[in-house]
Amino acid sequence: VIAGSAELRDRAGTAALAPDPPAAARVVVLGIGNTLLTDEALGIQAVERFAAMYRVPDHVQLIDGGTSAMELLDVVADCELLIVVDALLANSTPGSVVRLAADAVPVFFRTKLSPHQVGLSDLLASLEFAGQSPRTTVILGIEPADMRLGLELTPIVEAHMPELVGMIAAELRGAGIDLAAGSTRM
C-alpha span between 186 and 184 (Å, rounded): 6
**Shortest CB 158 distance to another protein, Å:** 19
**If binding is defined by CB under 8 A, does position 64 make contact with another protein?**
yes
Q: Does 126 bind another protein (CB under 8 A)?
A: yes
Nearer to another protein, 17 or 181 (CB): 17
Position 141 contacts another protein (CB under 8 A)? no
Q: Judged by CB under 8 A, does residue 129 bind another protein?
A: yes
* Binding segment toward another protein, per CB under 8 A, in 48-56, 70-78, 162-170, 174-182: 70-78
Residues 89-118, interacting with another protein (CB under 8 A): 89, 112, 115-116, 118
Q: At what angle do helices 104-111 and 117-130 cross, to 10 degrees?
A: 130
Rounded to the nearest whole angstrom, what is the least distance from the CB of residue 16 to another protein in the complex? 5
83: alpha, beta or left, given left = phi > 0 and alpha = psi -120 to 50?
beta
Residues 6+ apart with CB under 8 A from 9: 2
| Tally of CA atoms within 13 A in the half-sphere of 110 that contains its CB | 5
Choices 94-102, 122-130, 154-162, 169-177; region in contact with another protein by CB under 8 A: 122-130
Contact range with another protein by CB under 8 A, out of 68-76, 96-104, 156-164, 174-182: 68-76
Quick check: 138 and 83 in contact, CB under 8 A? yes
User: Can you tell me the distance from the alpha carbon of 126 to that of 141, in angstroms, rounded to the nearest whole number?
Assistant: 24
# residues contacting another protein (CB under 8 A): 51
The one-letter code for the residue type at 15 is A
Write out the E strands in 27-177.
Answer: 27-32, 54-55, 60-66, 81-87, 97-100, 136-142
Q: Interface residues with another protein (CB under 8 A)?
A: 1-5, 8-9, 11-17, 34-37, 40, 64-74, 77, 89, 112, 115-116, 118-119, 122, 125-126, 128-131, 144, 147-151, 186
